[in-house]
Amino acid sequence: MKKKVIAIIIALLVGAVGLFLWQTKVFAPKTAKEEVKQEEKSGPVRSELTGLETTADKAKRPITAVMVENSPEARPQSGLKDAGVVFEAVAEGGITRFVALYQEAQPDLIGPVRSIRPYFVEWAAGFDAGLAHVGGSELALNMVKSGDYVADLDQFKAPEGIFWRSEDRVAPHNMYTKMSGLDKYMTKLDKKKSNFQSWDRQALKSDTTESDLPDAQAIRLPVSTGIFEVSYHYDTASKTYQRFQGGEAHQDREKGQISPDVVIAIMVNQKLSADGNHMDIETTGTGKAYIFQNGKVQEGNWVKPNAQTNISFTDDQGNKIPLKSGQTWITAVDNSREVVWE
């Protein structure tokens, strides 16, 4: 009887040791090599913003948007060439402005940063972004303060060191920021991720050409006039569209001429707002769109059901139009004007 009890105890001990070793193996933290192997097995990670291959950590980053000025005193800007997506529209007096969106890129200099308008807030809201700005119109400020649209990265409330004024330009055209600082601001606001419907980027490879689509080697977008009129010239070597403003190359001060992979013109209704000082630009609903990529143009539609839903692009049958991976510039053009290409 005593021997039988001892045998049972030994069996239980052996089983316990075996269970411990199994749990240790299963639940132990993965080594660096194991994590690399697992990432390799799952294939390349792509940015939800640009469709470009990136690291897993960068692909998880929330989207950060920055309001960037485009007056003559603000040129050349910094950080625009690093943006994944840029929206362009008229602010006041025919002067255009940009909201530039970032995910995997980490520029050390972005700006000059300026004030927000409601339509820029709604475009950024579609990406569930944080939005960096220096004040704004009354309606736009009320929108960001509500918390229903974007994480409010207002310069006036920012911790020290995130925004600064440069000495080589005069105010108000000299406010700058950097992505590492905005990351800290986002963390302070507990903005850890962005949930949005990304565009179909993988279905169209960078060297794809659609023979049945019209050629579009040169584009003119009459978003405004004079030094704010936009044109693009397709570069066959890089397969990008070189951007011009008022006939001059649009330069990023640190990185040269801005050359997006995809250019989109969205046709919208716009008018002077009720206060008589700002523009009222249509952002929700649907309208005509022209998608330029790989030297071709496809006519389709833009669709944005509400402020919080991302804008999308469809053909006349309602099918999503795939976009080439890379930087995308979207310009809002008034319906009374004509987009021209050749």
- Which pLDDT does position 207 carry in this prediction? 47
Q: How far apart are CA 319 and CA 312, in angstroms?
A: 10
The dihedral built from the CA positions of residue 237, 241, 247 and 250, taken in this order, carries a sign that is: negative
Report if residue 241 sits inside a domain.
yes
Say yes or no: 114 and 181 in one domain.
yes
Report if residue 5 sits inside a domain.
no
Residue pLDDT, tens place only, 120-131:
999 999 999 999
Compute the half-sphere exposure of residue 5: CA atoms within 13 Å on the CB side of its CA: 2
Residue with tokens 């469709």: 51
- Which pLDDT does position 206 carry in this prediction? 47
Confidence of residue 49 (pLDDT cuts 50, 70, 90): very high
Residue 24 has pLDDT above 50, yes or no: no
Residue pLDDT, tens place only, 64-80:
999 999 999 999 999 99
Confidence of residue 42 (pLDDT cuts 50, 70, 90): low
- Which pLDDT does position 37 carry in this prediction? 47
Q: Residue 151 maps to which CATH number?
A: 3.50.90.10
Report if residue 41 sits inside a domain.
no
Q: Angle at CA 336, nearest 5°, toward 333 and 337?
A: 55
Say yes or no: 156 and 242 in one domain.
no
- Which pLDDT does position 273 carry in this prediction? 81
Say yes or no: 242 and 182 in one domain.
no
Q: What percent of the chain has pLDDT over 90?
A: 80
Say yes or no: 126 and 233 in one domain.
no
Pairing of strands 262-268, 285-293: antiparallel
* Cα 40 from chain centroid (whole Å): 26
Question: What pTM does this model have?
Answer: 0.86
Among 39-48, 180-189, 190-199, 308-317, the range scoring the smallest mean pLDDT is 39-48
Peptide bond connecting 76 to the previous residue in cis, omega within 30 degrees of 0: yes
Q: How far apart are CA 304 and CA 287, in angstroms?
A: 9
- Which pLDDT does position 278 carry in this prediction? 86
Report if residue 327 sits inside a domain.
yes
Three-state DSSP class for 18?
A: helix
Q: How far apart are CA 267 and CA 227, in angstroms?
A: 21
Who wins on pLDDT, 134 or 274?
Answer: 134
- Domain's final residue, options 169, 188, 207: 188
Residue with tokens 């308008």: 117
- Which pLDDT does position 133 carry in this prediction? 98
Residue 342 has pLDDT above 50, yes or no: yes
Confidence of residue 310 (pLDDT cuts 50, 70, 90): very high
- In this prediction, residues 306-335 reach a mean pLDDT of 97
- Which pLDDT does position 263 carry in this prediction? 99
- Which pLDDT does position 274 carry in this prediction? 80
Residue pLDDT, tens place only, 270-308:
998 887 788 899 999 999 999 999 999 999 999 999 999
Report if residue 321 sits inside a domain.
yes
The dihedral built from the CA positions of residue 271, 273, 277 and 282, taken in this order, carries a sign that is: negative
Say yes or no: 136 and 230 in one domain.
no
Question: Are the CB atoms for 146 and 84 separated by under 8 Å?
Answer: no
Tokens for 338? 């004509």
Residue 104 has pLDDT above 60, yes or no: yes
Cα torsion 132, 198, 77, 277 to 10°: value is -60
Q: For residue 341, what are the β-bridge partners?
A: 219
Residue pLDDT, tens place only, 220-278:
999 999 999 999 999 999 999 999 999 999 999 999 999 999 999 999 999 988 877 88
What total number of domains does the chain contain? Answer: 2
Report if residue 133 sits inside a domain.
yes
The average confidence (pLDDT) of the chain is 89
Who wins on pLDDT, 22 or 116?
Answer: 116
Cα torsion 26, 31, 32, 33 to 10°: value is -80
Say yes or no: 276 and 168 in one domain.
no
Say yes or no: 280 and 172 in one domain.
no
Question: Are the CB atoms for 234 and 293 separated by under 8 Å?
Answer: no
Residue pLDDT, tens place only, 81-91:
999 999 999 99
Report if residue 285 sits inside a domain.
yes
Confidence of residue 140 (pLDDT cuts 50, 70, 90): very high
Question: Are the CB atoms for 191 and 151 separated by under 8 Å?
Answer: yes
The dihedral built from the CA positions of residue 180, 181, 187 and 193, taken in this order, carries a sign that is: negative
Report if residue 134 sits inside a domain.
yes
Tokens for 73? 């005193």
List the domain range (segments joined by +) for residue 225: 218-341
Residue 21 has pLDDT above 60, yes or no: no
Q: Which residues, including other chains, have CB under 8 Å from residue 72's CB and lie 6 or more apart?
A: 227
